[in-house]
Every structure is written in C-alpha cells, then in structure tokens.
C-alpha cells in the first residue's frame, strides 16, 4: 500500500501540488508510477476532505475518475497505473469507517469508466462520445493499428503508382527513382503525416522562385545573422582594409607567390557594404565564397597564410600583410563555412520536389478515400481529428463542457510526445488555447529517456511546455513546480532523483559517464545530465560495472590472445561474431563463478532493497539489450555454442500460440455457438481441458454441439455450459426462446470493459494455472496479458458487441501480419531490444555493440531526407548537375537536412545508451569492438583507433575516452582485467578470455512418472483444394488417409488431368506423407513455357489489369517469381497478351452488363463441411444484388469439341466455390463461366440456391462415403 509517509520529499512535493501546474523530471528508477498513483489518490482524498459533510452525496462524490484525465505512452502503462490505483482503493476500503466507505465504494466502481488511457485511446473515446458532432468520422468507426495502417498505406501507394503511371509527376520522378524506390519514398512520406501533408500542400503548386527563396532562407547552412556578425567584426574589417590597401597598391616585391594570390582573391571577392552588420543572403554567399577560397579541397586551412620571405625580400610591409591575413583567417574560421552553394542544382531539384509533393497528395487523397470507405481511422487521425473537433468554433460549448469536467490532467512520458498532444492539452484546460492560463496540468517525463524520434516524438516539447507552465506561474506569482535546467541540472523542486533500482556502485558510474556524454548547455534536442541518488544499499558489495573490450585486428588478436586460441585464430564473416563469442564466454564465467545478486523486492517502485541476503546469479537474471536485431542470430549462435540457455523477447507468432488460440476460439464460440469448430477447440483447450472421451458424450445423431452441451447431464459439461451461457449474457447476448434455432440470438450493447471481461473468464476457469504447467508458462501468461491490453484498446475504441469484437480481432489477425509475442522474462538469458526493455529492469544488464556504427540513412527509403528545420519541414534529395543531367549530386537542401538529422540522431543515440544502462539493478556489462589505428606501426592495445566524441559515429566515441583510457590500455598489455575508480563509483575493463564449459545439472535418480491413459483416437478430418475435389470426382485421384495426422488427402492416379493442360494450380493443401512425390511438375508445355507458367502470366495480367505498357514488366516479374528459366520472347509475349486481352474483355463485358456491387480478383473462399473444408481461389467474382458470377480462365489449348468434356471436369471445382459463396448468402444464385482464352469461347451454367444446397449435401455424403470403413 502506498503510504504518504514512505514517499521521498521529492515525491511528496509532486503529490501535494494540486493547485498549480507541474512539469516533473522523473529520472530512471525513481518511483514514477508510485508518484502518479499517490497523486491520483490524493486528488480524490483532498476533494472528499474539503467537501461539506452536510451536502456530500456518497453516490456522487465531488471528484471521481471521470473528472481526471491521465494519458500514458503504452497500453501496458495504462493498465499498470489503473491496477495500481485500484489496488490502493481496495486496500483503503478494507480500513475505512462506514461514514467514508460509501463514497470510496462509488469511486472504486467508477474507476473502470475513468479516463486512464493512452493518448490515442483517450482521443478515440472522446470522438465516440461526440460522434455525431465530429465531421471527420462516422459513428462506429474502426481504428487501424500500426500494422493495419502500414499495410493499407503500402497497398494504396502501389495502386496510385499504377493508376497514375503516365502522370507528369510520375514521369518526372521516374528520372530519379525506380518504381520500387518511389513506392517506398511515398509510403514513408505518408507515414510522416500530418507534417508531410502540410509540406506537400505548400510545394505541389509552388513556383521555382518561391522554392529557391525558401532554400536560401531556411536551408542555407550558414546563418545570415552569424555571417553578418563575423563580417562586421572590427578585427575582420581592419584586416580586410589592410589587405585591400596592400593588394591595390602593391609594394615592389614578387607577387607571384601563392599566399599573395590568395590575399588578392579575398580582395576580389569582397563586395561593398560587407561590414554593415545587416543580415542578408549576400553575406551568406560572401562568407561561403571566402571560406572556400581560404581552405583546401578537403575544407581544411592551408599550412600558413604568411608571405614567403623570398618573395618579400625583407620588405617592411610584410609584417602588416602577414598580421592582417592571419587575423582574417583566425577570426573568420573558414573551415566552419566551407559549403558549396550552387543554386542551379537547387533549381534542378525543384521539379523533383514539386512532383513528389504532388504525388504525395494524390496518394494521401486515395488513402483517405479508402479509410472513409472502411469507416476507419489510424492513430494519427485520432489525435488530429480530436484537435480539429475541439478547435472548431461551433464546438466551443463542447470544449467548455470538457474543460469544466476535467478538473485535473496528468500526462506520463511527456518526453515522447509531439506538439499535437500539447495542443490537445491546451484545448482541454485553457480558457484560451492561444494564451495558456490553466493551473491543473501535471506532466511527467525525462528528456534523457526520449528514444522514439522514429515515431515523430519531439524531445524539445518537454522544455517548451515547461517554459509555458512556468510563465503561468510567474504571472500568478505562484511557487510553481517547473523545469529549470539552465545550470545543467534539474531544479531541486521539480525532479525525482532518488533511484530505487540500481546499486550505488553501478548508479554512480552511470552518473559519471553521462555527466560527460550529455551536454549541460547543448542544443534544444540534447539532454542535460541529472545526477541520481541511490536509495539502495549494497552491504555485500556485489554491484559491478564492467567494460569488455574486444579487439578485432587479426594481428593484435594473434599476438595478444595466446590464452584464448579460438578467439585469436577466429576468421569471422563479420566482426560482430568476435564480440558475441567474447560476450558468451564472459557470461559463462559469470554464471560459473557464480556472481551474486540481491533478490528482487518489487522493482522500480519498491522500498529500499539490498539489506537482505544475496543469491547466485542465474541465466534468467541476465538481459542482453540490443540496439537493433541486425546481429541477433550471431548472439544466439554464440550463446548456443557456450551452452547458455536464452530466450528472445517479442518472438513472432502471437496469434498462433496455444493460449491465444484458445481465447480466440472461446470468443468466436461465445459470439456464435454454431461455430462448432471454435466451440470444440475451446472445450479441449486449457480453458476447460475437457478430454476427448468426455466430449464424446456430446456426439449425438446430427444434433448441434451447442444444443448437446446444454442438454448434457454430465457434471463437467453442465458446469461449462453454465459458464458459457453466463458469459454470453454478460456480453449482452440474449438467447432466443425459439427451440428450432431458426430465430437468431439478440445481441445488445456491452457496457463494460472487455479487459475486465477477460479477467473474469481467466479467474473462473483457472486459465493461468492451466497454462502454467506448460513448457513456457511465463511467455504464455505474458501473451495473455498482452491480449488483455489489446481488449482494453477495443473498449477504448467503443467496440460494444461481441460479434464486432471478434470481427475486429479476425481482421487484425488477417491484415496485421505475424504479430510478435509479448515481452517477458522467460527462462534463460533474455535477448531484447532497448526499446522493448523501456520501463523494465533486470539484475544483470548487458549492452553490446558499443563499437557498432550508427545508422546514417535518410528517413525516406534511405535516400531522401525529410526533416524539420527552423520550424519548417522540407525534403532534400540529389539532383542532376547543371552540366550533366545524368549525374546526380547532393543539393544544399539535402546537405542541410542531413546535418540536422545527424545532429538529432546523435543526441538520441546518447539517450538510447542511457536507457539501456539504467535498466540495470545490480550489474552492468558493456562490450564493444575496437579496431587498431591504421597508422600504427605495431598492433598493440595502446594503438587502438582513437575516439572522436565531437563527431561520434558509434557509442564507442563517447565510452572509450571515459573507460578505456591510455593507462588502462597500457595495463591491459599484461593483464586481462583492470579495475579503476570512476567518480563515486568504480568499473573494470576486461579482455576476452576462454569460456567455462557448462555441464548440465543431473539428478541422482529419475523421478517416477505415472503415464496417463492413451487418449481416444481423434476423428478423421479433411482439407482439400477445389481442384482435389474435381480430380476425385472425375476419377483422376482417389482418397487416402494419413494415419499419423488422421487427415484425408487426394492421391493422384491419372496425371492426364485437364487442369494440367490448362496450367491450373493443382497441389493439394493437405497432402499425405507421399504427397510431394505424387505432385510432379507439369511437363505439358505451351511452346517454350510450361502450361502452368503460361497460365500464371495470363492470370496475373487479368487480375492486375494494368496499363498494357506495363504488361511486359508483369510477365517478367511472374517468370522471376516462378523461377522459370524462360526467355520472354516477342512470340511468347504476343501469345500471353492475346489470352489476357480475351480474359479481360470478357470480364469487362460481363461487369458492364450487370448491376455490380462488388468485384474480386483471386478471391480465397472456404466451403465448410462436418469433417473439414474445401478451399480455393476464384479467378474473378462479380457480385450483384441477386447473384454471384464466378469467372474462371482456362488458358490451355482446346477445341470446340473438347469444351464440353473439360467443362464437365471443371464444374465440379466450381460447385465447391458455389457452396462456399452460398454459405455466406443463401439467397443469391451462382452463375459459372469458364473462359477458354485459346479460342475465345466460354461455357456458362447457372445454379439456383436450392440446387446449391443439394450440391452441398451431395459433397458431404460423397466425402463421408469415401472415408475408409476403419476410419469412420
């Protein structure tokens, strides 16, 4: 329980400050969650304490969760905070007297309806609460997650590039980008909305003059004010005047020397009025020209600027000349301004920039159209639409109502926000958003931990907001709690600096390192250092910091590492293998020693720990934090070789895991009990764990599984049915009273939280206990928690029916790609990215890759820069040279934006390293590769490549000067480990040493194992393709049983099938053990290409229906995808074109002649039956109000006389498709057309609903009859 008395003074000040704004810097591990929880509770307590007892209504307390807005960065943080608050309120309820109990009970009940959300969750809720007043969205809108939005953007851009293939903008950009590159660039730009749209709006219709004016004003690398000040410097003016006088009235000397010519060049470059101090573009150009003139081609100063004695021959004016020239160079610092400015190159780039802006707007418009059609929004829209809604003048009354309702606003992780979130806060709290005057805002964050620049987080927003809040306090003469880092540290009253996480030795070393790495008076995007104070003690002195230096030079390794032959002689494909080898060896030693750690007593917000007994380090305690996953497999191999167990966080396949599959099936069955496959799977899952012999009791003569379950007298089955029916009622589903099941159940709106709904199911089934007995209990539980967080998001998204919820989840599964599993503390060493580890902590943290080069690629397809500079976003790319249009060169815009990006990325790299280091509780191990100095005479540890902290290209440039000093390197010449004091802490530097052989623990005797009864043999199932079904019915194949998998498959008995001649796909989807051998490749060829390859090219053209000018490219792509060693000859192209033209013409004619609602290409359909399903792809489907029209292309050679026989074979395949469609809508008829493109003929038939029902029953009977007798 959070006790006010147990809070630090810093925490108490933050909790108490309810009558003013607060901007709180919460350092790593300083108890931020505890502080937020305590402040939330104190708001409630204070409101109750100050309320008039006579008028206090316990059922309507003066301050409730609905009056407090709290936004967090992640769903996990929102859940943790809400749970922390709920726990505290529950604890209070147990201790309260009756007079106070009722009010707190009301608060507890209302917490679920409180405004504790992610930013996007809060915006979604606000938009739904005012859906009819928001023009941008329709009520009931869906929210696309990041994966769904990215997929839709990519698909949209691809479609736009095809549609506008001949557009002027496309033709312009084709000179610079390939189609794939352009698709990636535009896709990335749409990912930068809304900033990219603002940029595109500005430049799509701009003139070249406007663009050049913008470049010179905003993107010139030399600040015009600086240029004017430098040129107006009296010392510079005097020097130039002296040189001018001497050059224009030369003394009697030899003026052919190089220095004289350089001075003469200065005089020639200087223009009148250069020294007037006025900021102009001319001075930018002037100082650039002077700097280019006064430096070498590499931008360095010349060796000297004094005249040669032999040329001056003792002339008395040499001293004045030399002094003037040297003063000019010294004050001008030309190496800082050696920039090449060629406005002709900028003009050449304008056409590209304008075209890219125009194409971006076309793609953005199409993307908006697609979202509108789907009634969907993405995360960016949620914030933008909410801000626009509240900014609209007609909604002033709504804004006033919200401002009155929300008495407090708290924002967590504010360092990772963007300006739009601050705009939203102002709209919710200030009487006039343009003149902020609110006094109820609490923002907490830590600039040092801002690591989400790639998600458009603006690290400068935290300081800007602090300045605004401080200004309000100054105006009101309040002792505000505000940010003040002018002296390089946070002010004493606005920070949490007591660290509960890390042992003193480790924390003091981190403090010392980042006192140097961070900049106290740097640019706005630089973090300032904050010295944290350790709260923990270390009586056993177990804390440690170590740097593992890994030399990569082969000569140095061979000479210095005789003690470690494998390392000395290694010939890695990449140097990262050396570091991984050395690191794994070091971990094997630490686990063997063993190293000591303190037991975890609650983590970040726990009371002081470290006084208790220590324990031995285990592999589970260690976390390897990677900057990226680039070399993940290298570390996995090294750990395997060292026999160290490990797990990788965020593995793929979240929705395929046993525990999530079980929950998905349960939700499917609850929404639709007639989904017998889902219901049966849920009953057998760890949710209920019913055995097959128990479920066998439900097998009755054709009775639905759900009905049989409801009528069962078996105790376990009856109990499960009771739970399921109750959960359905709680979800708002009212069961129909119609015993015939012809009347559907009625689904009302669900008013609760889906996350809480899942919690109840978990508790009532003992699900966590059940999945904990598996081989991955921690991962399974973490996955369920992640699923619960997703459900919370759906509640925020106002999903209020179980059917809608299931549909949303199904769409996420199908469109979102393979989502990663939840982060967890699984068995063995944990490998995860630093971003995944944000908010986590570990007893032993390893940060490898200290020497790895930073990524230095532009944000758009690694080619085009897109950055904000001087308050404006801009694009920078290469452009044609003025004298050679085929040679691309950097523009000034690209160079300036690149420099800005690099500066901001370097600042973030410092913060990423800080976040990684501050995850450590007891031990911190850094490791890095080190090259030898290329100019060194001998390979030695004292001759390593020098660091360049001011121009860092890796973390090594900041770490090496601090930890791998010259004296340490000298000591390592004869030792493999050196220890040094460091600030108030200490650290060790070690070299790679051999691993310890790890012997798996064995037990004296094997435990007795009691075998369970053999489970009953599962029933036979099938999953056939539609072509399998046709082959089976036409006696080209026969049904066979895979006895191990208990599945049926079609075994080919006659290879001369029509689909082989027509190039159709015929592989079974569920083959038997010999299926690969039975599925020989077709050898039937159409001239010089196999029939299936020919057919695939025709199908691709018919499906894409691209402009004919693109057809050759599509054919080539198809051949490449099919790995066909075939030349695309003109004759082959002509044949493919003829077939495709006939197919496309046919479908266009049929579409034009019908009232078409929808059209689909390559539509995947499933016809479901009792024992399985038949699946396949429909080439083209037209959907009209009354019918489905299946169109299937047949591309093989055929005569008029053969059509009837071929159709008799194919219609069986089409029957399966008709059944699949009828299962979606039983009222539509189905028309089937087989288009034989070789002779431009078709065969058509039509099936009425009654006929399709008869076909379905016939397929069912036939398949069951084909099941072998012993398998029924």
Q: Are 750 and 760 in contact (CB under 8 A)?
A: no
Q: Taking every pair of C-alpha atoms in the chain, what is the biggest distance, in angstroms? A: 122
DSSP-derived 3-state class of residue 922: strand
Q: Are residues 911 and 971 in the same domain?
A: yes
To 5 degrees, how large is the angle CA 1195–CA 1024–CA 1016? 170
The reply to whether 363 falls in a domain is yes
Please give the pLDDT value at position 130. 86
The reply to whether 813 falls in a domain is yes
Q: Which of 447, 476, 496 is the last residue of a domain?
A: 496
Q: Are residues 263 and 198 in the same domain?
A: no
Q: Are 1081 and 1122 in contact (CB under 8 A)?
A: no
Sequence-distant (6+) residues with CB within 8 A of 321 are 242, 243, 246, 263, 307, 312
Determine the structural domain holding residue 1232 and report its residue range: 1021-1271
Give me the number of domains the chain comprises: 6
Q: Are 412 and 36 in contact (CB under 8 A)?
A: yes
Query: How far is 654 from 650, CA to CA, in rounded Å?
Result: 9
The reply to whether 520 falls in a domain is no
Question: Pairing mode, if any, of strands 985-990 and 977-982?
Answer: antiparallel
Q: Are residues 747 and 701 in the same domain?
A: yes
The reply to whether 1007 falls in a domain is no
Query: How far is 170 from 915, CA to CA, in rounded Å?
Result: 43
Q: Which two tokens stand for residue 1153?
A: 């002649």
Q: Are residues 124 and 177 in the same domain?
A: no
Query: 268-307 b/e with 16+ CB inside 10 Å = b?
Result: ebbeeebbeeeeeeebbbbbbbbbbebbeeeeeeeeebeb
The reply to whether 891 falls in a domain is no
Q: Are residues 687 and 805 in the same domain?
A: yes
Query: How far is 181 from 187, CA to CA, in rounded Å?
Result: 10
Question: Pairing mode, if any, of strands 22-26 and 495-496?
Answer: parallel
Q: Are residues 363 and 409 in the same domain?
A: no
The reply to whether 146 falls in a domain is no
Query: How far is 1136 from 1087, CA to CA, in rounded Å?
Result: 12
The reply to whether 781 falls in a domain is yes
Q: Are 159 and 366 in contact (CB under 8 A)?
A: yes
Q: Which two tokens stand for residue 180?
A: 């794939």
Query: How far is 941 from 854, CA to CA, in rounded Å?
Result: 24
Q: Are residues 1043 and 961 in the same domain?
A: no
Q: Are residues 981 and 848 in the same domain?
A: yes
| 10-residue stretch averages of pLDDT, the chain, 1272 residues long | 83 89 91 91 91 87 92 85 88 82 88 88 89 76 82 89 92 89 92 92 94 88 88 93 93 89 92 89 86 87 88 90 93 85 88 95 94 86 92 91 93 86 91 86 91 82 83 62 39 76 96 94 89 94 96 93 94 92 96 89 44 85 91 88 84 74 91 87 87 74 80 87 90 61 58 85 88 71 85 77 83 60 72 89 96 87 86 90 85 90 93 96 96 82 91 95 95 95 94 83 47 57 85 85 73 75 43 35 47 87 81 78 79 93 94 88 84 87 93 90 91 94 90 94 94 91 70 54
Q: Are residues 849 and 973 in the same domain?
A: yes
Task: Indicate if the alpha-carbon torsion angle 602, 606, 610, 611 is positive or negative.
Answer: negative
Q: Are residues 800 and 840 in the same domain?
A: no
Please give the pLDDT value at position 605. 38
Please give the pLDDT value at position 824. 58
Q: Are residues 871 and 922 in the same domain?
A: yes
Query: How far is 454 from 449, CA to CA, in rounded Å?
Result: 14
DSSP-derived 3-state class of residue 980: strand
The reply to whether 888 falls in a domain is no
Please give the pLDDT value at position 339. 77
Say which CATH number the domain at 565 has.
3.40.50
Query: What length does the chain have?
Result: 1272
Q: Are residues 1090 and 960 in the same domain?
A: no
Q: Which of 822, 845, 864 is the last residue of a domain?
A: 822
Residues making up the binding site for ATP: 26-33
Q: Cβ–Cβ contacts within 10 Å for residue 431, how many?
A: 11
Please give the pLDDT value at position 1. 64
Please give the pLDDT value at position 448. 93
Element (H, E) at 1255: helix 1249-1266
Please give the pLDDT value at position 818. 52
Please give the pLDDT value at position 502. 96
Residues making up the binding site: 26-33
Closest residue by Cα to residue 199 from 865, 863, 872, 877? 872
Please give the pLDDT value at position 1163. 84
Task: Write the DSSP symbol of residue 838.
Answer: T
Query: 138-172 b/e with 16+ CB inside 10 Å = b?
Result: eeebbbbbeebbbebbbebbbebbeebeebebbeb
Say which CATH number the domain at 115 has.
3.40.50.300
Query: How far is 854 from 364, CA to CA, in rounded Å?
Result: 32
Query: How far is 131 from 139, CA to CA, in rounded Å?
Result: 5
């Amino acid at each position: 329980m959070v006790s006010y008395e147990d809070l630090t003074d810093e925490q108490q000040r933050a909790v108490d400050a309810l009558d003013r704004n607060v901007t709180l810097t919460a350092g790593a591990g300083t108890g931020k969650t505890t502080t937020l929880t305590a402040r939330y509770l104190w708001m409630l307590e204070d409101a109750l304490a100050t309320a008039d007892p006579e008028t206090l209504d316990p059922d309507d307390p003066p301050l409730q969760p609905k009056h407090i807005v709290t936004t967090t960065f992640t769903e996990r943080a929102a859940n943790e905070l809400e749970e922390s608050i709920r726990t505290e309120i529950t604890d209070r309820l147990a201790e309260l007297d009756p007079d106070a109990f009722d009010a707190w009970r009301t608060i507890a009940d209302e917490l679920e309806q409180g405004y504790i959300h992610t930013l996007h969750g809060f915006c979604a809720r606000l938009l739904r609460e005012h859906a009819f007043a928001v023009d941008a969205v329709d009520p009931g809108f869906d929210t696309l997650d990041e994966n769904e939005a990215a997929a839709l953007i990519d698909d949209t851009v691809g479609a736009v590039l095809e549609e506008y293939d001949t557009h002027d903008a496309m033709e312009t950009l084709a000179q610079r980008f390939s189609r794939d590159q352009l698709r990636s660039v535009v896709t990335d730009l749409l990912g930068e909305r809304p900033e990219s749209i603002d940029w595109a709006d500005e430049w799509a219709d701009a003139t070249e003059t406007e663009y050049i004016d913008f470049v010179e004003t905003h993107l010139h690398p030399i600040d015009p004010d600086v240029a004017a000040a430098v040129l107006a410097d009296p010392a510079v003016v005097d020097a130039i005047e002296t040189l001018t006088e001497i050059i224009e009235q030369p003394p009697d000397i030899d003026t052919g020397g190089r220095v004289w010519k350089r001075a003469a060049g200065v005089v020639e470059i200087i223009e009148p009025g250069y020294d007037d101090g006025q900021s102009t573009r001319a001075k930018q150009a002037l100082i650039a020209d002077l700097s280019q003139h006064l430096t070498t081609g590499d931008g360095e100063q010349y060796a000297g600027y004094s005249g040669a004695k032999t040329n001056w021959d003792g002339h008395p004016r040499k001293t004045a000349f030399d002094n003037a020239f040297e003063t000019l160079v010294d004050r001008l610092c030309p190496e800082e301004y050696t920039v090449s400015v060629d406005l002709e190159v900028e003009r050449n780039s304008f056409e590209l920039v304008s075209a890219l802006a125009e194409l971006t707007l076309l793609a953005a418009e199409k993307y908006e159209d697609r979202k509108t059609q789907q009634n969907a929004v993405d995360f960016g829209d949620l914030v933008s639409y909410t801000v626009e809604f509240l900014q609209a003048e007609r909604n002033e009354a709504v804004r006033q109502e919200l401002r009155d309702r929300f008495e407090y606003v708290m924002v967590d992780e504010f360092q990772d926000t963007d300006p739009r979130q601050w705009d939203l806060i102002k709209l919710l709290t200030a009487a006039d958003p343009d003149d902020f005057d609110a006094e109820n805002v609490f923002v907490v964050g830590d600039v040092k931990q801002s690591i989400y620049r790639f998600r458009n987080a603006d690290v400068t927003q935290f300081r800007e907001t602090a300045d605004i809040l401080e200004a309000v306090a100054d105006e009101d003469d309040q002792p505000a709690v505000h940010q003040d880092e002018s002296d390089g540290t946070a002010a004493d009253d606005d920070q949490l600096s007591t660290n509960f996480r890390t042992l003193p030795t480790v924390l003091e070393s981190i403090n010392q390192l980042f006192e140097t790495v961070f900049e106290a008076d740097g640019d706005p995007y630089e973090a300032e250092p904050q010295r944290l104070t350790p709260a923990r003690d270390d009586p056993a002195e177990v804390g440690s910091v170590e740097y593992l230096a890994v030399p990569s030079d082969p000569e140095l390794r061979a000479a210095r590492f005789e003690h470690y032959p494998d390392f000395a002689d290694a010939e890695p494909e990449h140097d990262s293998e050396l570091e991984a080898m050395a690191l794994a060896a070091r971990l094997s030693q630490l686990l063997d020693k063993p190293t000591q750690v303190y037991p975890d007593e609650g983590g970040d917000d726990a009371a002081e720990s470290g006084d208790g007994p220590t324990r031995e380090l285990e592999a589970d305690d260690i976390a390897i934090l990677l900057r990226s996953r680039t070399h993940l497999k290298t570390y996995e191999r090294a750990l395997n070789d060292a026999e160290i167990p490990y797990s990788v966080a965020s593995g793929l396949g979240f929705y395929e895991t046993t525990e999530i599959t079980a929950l998905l099936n349960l939700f499917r069955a609850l929404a639709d009990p007639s989904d017998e496959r889902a219901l049966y799977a849920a009953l057998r899952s760890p949710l209920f764990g019913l055995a097959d012999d128990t479920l066998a009791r439900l097998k009755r003569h054709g009775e639905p599984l759900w009905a049989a379950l409801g009528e069962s007298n078996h105790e376990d089955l009856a109990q499960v049915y009771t739970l399921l029916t109750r959960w359905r009622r709680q979800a708002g589903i009212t069961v129909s009273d119609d015993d015939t099941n012809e009347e559907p159940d009625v689904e009302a709106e669900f008013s609760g939280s889906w996350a809480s709904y899942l919690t109840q199911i978990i508790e009532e089934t003992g699900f966590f206990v059940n999945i904990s007995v598996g081989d991955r209990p921690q991962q399974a539980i973490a996955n369920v928690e992640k699923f619960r967080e997703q459900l919370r998001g759906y509640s925020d998204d106002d999903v209020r029916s179980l059917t809608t919820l299931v549909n949303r989840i199904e769409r996420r599964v199908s469109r979102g790609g393979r989502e990663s599993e939840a982060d967890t503390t699984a068995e063995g060493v944990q490998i995860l990215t630093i971003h995944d580890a944000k908010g986590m902590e570990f007893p032993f943290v390893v940060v490898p890759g200290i020497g790895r080069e930073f990524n230095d690629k532009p944000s758009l397809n690694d080619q085009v820069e897109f950055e904000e500079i001087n308050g404006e976003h801009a694009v920078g790319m290469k452009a044609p040279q003025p004298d050679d249009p085929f040679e691309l060169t950097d523009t000034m815009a690209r160079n300036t934006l690149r420099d800005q990006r690099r500066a901001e990325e370097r600042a973030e790299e410092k913060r990423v390293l800080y976040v990684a280091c501050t995850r450590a509780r007891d031990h911190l191990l850094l490791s890095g590769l080190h090259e030898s100095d290329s100019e060194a005479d001998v390979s030695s540890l004292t001759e390593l490549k020098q660091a360049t902290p001011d121009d860092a290209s890796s973390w090594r440039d900041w770490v090496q000067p601090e930890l791998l000093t010259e004296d340490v390197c000298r000591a390592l010449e004869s030792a493999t480990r050196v220890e040094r004091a460091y600030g108030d802490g200490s650290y060790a530097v070690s070299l790679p040493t051999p691993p310890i052989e790890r012997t798996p623990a064995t037990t004296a005797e094997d435990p007795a194992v009691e075998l369970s009864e053999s489970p009953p043999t599962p029933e036979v199932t099938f999953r056939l393709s539609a072509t399998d079904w046709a082959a089976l019915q036409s006696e080209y194949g026969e049904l066979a049983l895979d006895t191990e998998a208990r599945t049926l498959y079609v075994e080919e008995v006659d290879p001369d099938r029509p689909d082989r001649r027509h190039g159709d796909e015929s592989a079974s989807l569920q083959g038997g053990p010999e299926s690969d051998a039975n599925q020989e490749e077709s050898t039937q060829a159409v001239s010089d290409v196999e029939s299936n390859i020919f057919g695939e090219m025709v199908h691709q053209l018919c499906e894409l229906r691209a402009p004919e000018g693109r057809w050759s490219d599509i054919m080539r792509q198809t051949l490449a995808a099919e790995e066909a060693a075939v030349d695309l000859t003109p004759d082959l192209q002509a044949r493919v074109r003829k077939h495709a033209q006939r197919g496309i013409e046919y479908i266009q004619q049929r579409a034009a002649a019908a009232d078409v609602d929808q059209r689909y290409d390559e539509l995947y359909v499933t016809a479901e039956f009792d024992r399985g399903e038949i699946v396949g792809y429909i080439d083209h489907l037209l959907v009209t109000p009354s019918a489905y029209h299946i169109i299937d292309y047949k591309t093989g050679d055929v005569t008029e006389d053969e059509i009837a026989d071929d159709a008799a074979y194919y219609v069986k395949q089409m029957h399966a498709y008709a059944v699949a469609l009828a299962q979606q809508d039983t009222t539509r008829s189905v028309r089937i057309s087989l288009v034989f493109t070789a002779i431009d003929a078709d065969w058509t038939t039509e099936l009425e609903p009654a006929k399709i029902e008869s076909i379905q029953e016939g397929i069912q009977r036939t398949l069951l009859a084909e099941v072998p007798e012993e398998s029924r």
